Amino acid sequence: MSGAADERSSRWILAAGGVLMALATIAGALGAHALPARLSAADLSVYDTAVRYQFFDALGLLAIGLAMRQRPGRLLTAAGALVLAGTLCFCGSIYLLVCGVNFGLPLVVGLTTPLGGLLLMCGWIVFAAGVWRGARPEPGAR
């Protein structure tokens, strides 16, 4: 992977982390102010879990993006993509299920949650492998 491609990968992962942080802040505010009158305490607790996971994984994306600037490589890029996809699937499906927006497809939305969790686990394992391996630039890269 070239230096320019590594730079682009790092930028989109950092940007995605920033956007997810902003959306988690909005989701947290909704959970604190707008949703208590509409959701049960149990549903609010599940919703809060999704918000927390989104915050943690968004911070993780920022860490992956910064790590890529130090040690670019395919594994770290793959880790960022997996964590982003996992966060969208895991947290997004929980938001949809808790708020009752399942588009008549509760099984599909419900299956998306564990898929998202699996993607997150894989993303963090790939990140660990990339860091452990040293993720050195390929020969000829700057």
Q: What percent of the chain has pLDDT over 90?
A: 69
9 pLDDT exceeds 80? yes
Total domain count for the chain?
1
Give every CB contact of residue 62 below 8 A, 6+ residues apart in sequence.
14, 17, 18, 21
Provide the pLDDT for residue 51.
98
**Does any domain span residue 116?**
yes
Q: Is the pTM of this model over 0.95?
A: no
Q: Is residue 139 part of a domain?
A: no
Least confident of 11-25, 64-78, 89-103: 89-103
The verdict on residue 41 lying in a domain is: yes
Q: Tell me if 79 is assigned to some domain.
A: yes
Q: Containing domain of residue 117, as a range?
A: 3-133
What is the average pLDDT across 36-65? 95
Burial class (CB in 10 A: 0-12, 13-18, 19+), 117: middle
Tell me if 142 is assigned to some domain: no
In a domain, 117, yes or no: yes
Residue 74 belongs to a domain: yes
pLDDT band at residue 95 under the 50/70/90 scheme: very high
Closest C-alpha to 57, from 19, 6, 96: 19
> Is residue 141 in a domain?
no
